[in-house]
């Protein structure tokens, strides 16, 4: 384990801090400087710094750099994760009101519905033409017969091809199409777990998973996740040593709500853990295609033991309206997943899936992703500029390298569930932290998204939200 360059960098930097070369609160040299100093790639330096951040040796400030952790004077505060790293297994209790919030928050917009989204998109026009063509072709047969439970072979073939490019060697037979990532997660958890089983999740976790766990009467154990690196294999191991877990739901690439990206080594270590501790990794990879700079590998790419099942969809990268997701099954649960899909919904739409398949095979999805990643990064920057210029109160967040959102910590005095209700009266949607845990530890957090263009109306909403936060913040 001591062969990695980044570990050498961590050692060197830690020693400088011990020797008080840099004091608490002091800014350390930039990534570029350190990269030169250590003759290391920038990404290696970044890995080192992120690991030191996860260990609370450093903290990062948006667009400013890394600092030695401790008290410091500015308008933000550090992220205080609980010192207890994991919870104990217990049933999930999701309050009724959250179903309403969920339905409104799923679009990642500051508005409840598409008020400000009337423009058309070239890639959608093209996608619609592909689907339209598939609908016209052999329409009687499609109307009269159901697709087999796993869904369109053509689309599964295209997906298998995409996965090959990120070192996942599968055939169309490994894939089961679903009607979205939530559906994929539901079917997979139904297949892998029995009532009363314990499932480990990241904390903060995707609320959709918590709700499935409640419905299926599964217990949850929450594992603290770093806002930049996600959960660590050490913490997962600690949980597995203490309790028998059936599955661990992980979003390794640009997880919601934090946008964290799990380092390669952690992915490898967790894949090994699943084999030694006999649990299934349910990998929610819906944001994997939304890396600004590159497409990181899922955990599955490193899993030599076939314990990882990927759940994903096109809802965040292409369209929510095509309702198309999929499961990359493993051998152990493939048959069970197909059976549960069959009894849950019988079949998938053939025309829509064949249309998507030709859209993919002609390279349109790949081209669309290049634009989308650029757009998302720009939208993130616009949002951050707005916040920096206008929010005059305590808040903190990490800058993600992909995904759709940032995870904003406000003053502990602010109850963001109450803020949610106030904002709704002004037609503004925020996603309160309470949704992302079975506990109340994130009650002063909100998820903010940059999935939509910061038009005048959205800017205005963000400023209004800022004023609400300021009123509730301590002076």
The rounded distance, in Å, linking the Cα atoms of 415 and 402 is 28
In the bound state with a second copy, the residue whose beta carbon lies nearer, of 100 and 385, is 100
Among 372, 424, 451, 463, binds a second copy (CB under 8 A): 451
Candidates 123-131, 277-285, 294-302, 415-423 — which segment interacts with a second copy by CB under 8 A?
A: 123-131
Radius of gyration in angstroms for the set of CA atoms belonging to the chain, rounded to a whole number:
22
Q: Is 331 in the site for a second copy (CB under 8 A)?
A: no
**372 forms part of the interface with a second copy (CB under 8 A):** no
C-beta of 103 vs 167, nearer to a second copy: 103
Residue where the block lists tokens 């169309």: 172
The smaller minimum CB distance to a second copy, of residues 268 and 347, is found at 347
Q: Which residue, 321 or 385, has its beta carbon nearer to a second copy?
A: 321
Q: Does 284 bind a second copy (CB under 8 A)?
A: no
Tell me the DSSP string of 109-134.
Answer: -SSSSSTT-----HHHHHHHHHHHHH
For a second copy, the closer of residues 309 and 352 by Cβ is: 352
Closest-CA residue to 193 (of 115, 76, 92, 114) = 92
Instruction: Tell which residue, 303, 315, 450, has the closest CA to residue 386.
Output: 450
The Cα 66–Cα 64 span in angstroms is 7
User: Which of 20, 26, 99, 375: binder of a second copy (CB under 8 A)?
Assistant: 99
Distance of CA 44 to the CA centre of its chain: 23
Contact 340, 190 (CB under 8 A): yes
Please identify, among the stretches 33-41, 56-64, 94-102, 291-299, the one whose residues bind a second copy according to the rule CB under 8 A.
94-102
Q: Does 369 bind a second copy (CB under 8 A)?
A: no
Q: Which is nearer to a second copy, 339 or 377 (CB)?
A: 339
From the list 205-213, 287-295, 396-404, 413-421, the region that binds a second copy by CB under 8 A is 205-213
318 touching a second copy, by CB under 8 A: yes
Smaller CB separation from a second copy, 145 or 294: 145
Residue 152 interacting with a second copy (CB under 8 A): no
d(CA 333, CA 171): 16
Contact 287, 254 (CB under 8 A): yes
DSSP helix/strand/coil, 274: helix
- Asked if 179 is part of the footprint of a second copy (rule: CB under 8 A), the reply reads yes
Choose one: 4-12, 72-80, 124-132, 286-294; the region binding a second copy (CB under 8 A). 124-132
Does 43 sit near a second copy (CB under 8 A)? no
The residue among 125 and 169 lying less far from a second copy, judged by its C-beta, is 125
Q: Which of 132, 293, 385, 460 binds a second copy (CB under 8 A)?
A: 132
C-alpha–C-alpha distance, residues 341 and 149, integer Å = 7
In angstroms, give the least distance from the CB of 183 to a second copy: 4
Q: What are the C-alpha distances in Å from 188 to residues 292, 334, 372?
A: 29, 9, 29
Burial environment of residue 259 by CB neighbours within 10 A (0 to 12, 13 to 18, 19 or more):
buried
Beta bridge partners of 308: 281
Residue 212 near a second copy by CB under 8 A: yes
Does 109 interact with a second copy (rule: CB under 8 A)? yes
Three-class secondary structure assignment of 184-199: HHHHHHHHHCCCCCEE
Here the tokens at position 270 are: 């967790």
Going by the DSSP 8-state scheme, the letter that residue 261 receives in this structure is B
User: Which residues share a beta bridge with 281?
Assistant: 248, 308
* Residue 332 lies near a second copy (rule: CB under 8 A): no
Query: What residue ranges bind a second copy (CB under 8 A)?
Result: 96, 99, 102-103, 106-107, 109, 113-114, 117-121, 124-125, 128, 131-132, 135-136, 138-146, 148-149, 179-180, 182-183, 186, 190, 195, 208, 211-212, 215, 217, 315, 318-323, 335, 338-340, 342-352, 451-452
């Amino acid at each position: 384990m001591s062969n990695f360059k980044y570990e050498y960098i961590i050692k060197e930097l830690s020693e400088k801090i011990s020797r008080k070369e840099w004091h608490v609160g002091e800014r350390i040299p930039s990534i570029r400087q350190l990269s030169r100093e250590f003759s290391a790639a920038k990404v290696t330096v970044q890995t080192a710094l992120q690991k030191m951040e996860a260990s609370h040796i450093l903290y990062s400030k948006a667009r400013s750099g890394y600092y030695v952790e401790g008290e410091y004077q500015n308008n933000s505060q550090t992220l205080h994760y609980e010192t207890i790293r994991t919870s104990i297994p217990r049933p999930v209790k999701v309050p009724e009101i959250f179903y309403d919030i969920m339905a409104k928050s799923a679009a990642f917009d500051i508005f409840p519905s598409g008020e400000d989204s009337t423009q058309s998109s070239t890639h959608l026009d093209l996608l619609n033409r592909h689907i339209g063509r598939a609908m016209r072709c052999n329409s009687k047969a499609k109307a009269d017969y159901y697709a087999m439970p796993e869904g369109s072979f053509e689309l599964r073939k295209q997906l298998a091809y995409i996965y090959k490019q990120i070192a996942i060697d599968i055939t169309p037979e490994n894939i089961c199409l679903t009607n979205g990532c939530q559906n994929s997660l539901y079917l997979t958890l139904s297949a892998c777990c029995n009532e009363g089983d314990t499932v480990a999740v990241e904390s903060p976790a995707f609320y959709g998973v918590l709700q499935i766990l409640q419905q299926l009467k599964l217990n949850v154990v929450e594992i603290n996740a770093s806002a930049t690196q996600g959960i660590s294999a050490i913490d997962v191991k600690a949980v597995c040593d203490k309790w028998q877990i059936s599955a661990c739901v992980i979003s390794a690439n640009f997880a919601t709500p934090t946008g964290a990206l799990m380092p390669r080594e952690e992915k490898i270590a967790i894949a090994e853990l699943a084999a030694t501790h006999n649990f299934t990794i349910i990998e929610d990879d819906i944001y994997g295609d939304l890396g600004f700079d590159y497409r990181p590998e899922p955990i599955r790419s490193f899993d030599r033991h076939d314990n990882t099942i990927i759940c994903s969809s096109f809802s965040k990268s292409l369209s929510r309206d095509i309702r198309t997701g999929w499961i990359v099954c493993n051998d152990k649960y493939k048959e069970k997943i197909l059976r549960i899909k069959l009894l849950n919904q019988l079949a998938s739409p053939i025309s829509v899936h064949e249309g998507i398949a030709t859209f993919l095979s002609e390279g349109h999805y790949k081209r669309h992703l290049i634009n989308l990643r650029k757009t998302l990064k720009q939208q993130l920057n616009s949002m951050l500029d707005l916040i920096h210029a206008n929010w005059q109160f305590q808040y903190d967040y990490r800058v993600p390298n992909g995904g759709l959102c940032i995870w904003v910590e406000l003053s502990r005095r602010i109850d963001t569930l109450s803020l949610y209700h106030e904002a709704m009266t002004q037609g503004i949607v925020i996603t309160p932290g309470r949704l992302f845990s079975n506990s109340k530890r994130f009650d002063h957090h909100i998820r903010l998204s940059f999935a939509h263009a910061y038009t005048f109306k959205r800017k205005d909403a963000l400023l209004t939200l800022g004023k609400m936060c300021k009123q509730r913040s301590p002076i």
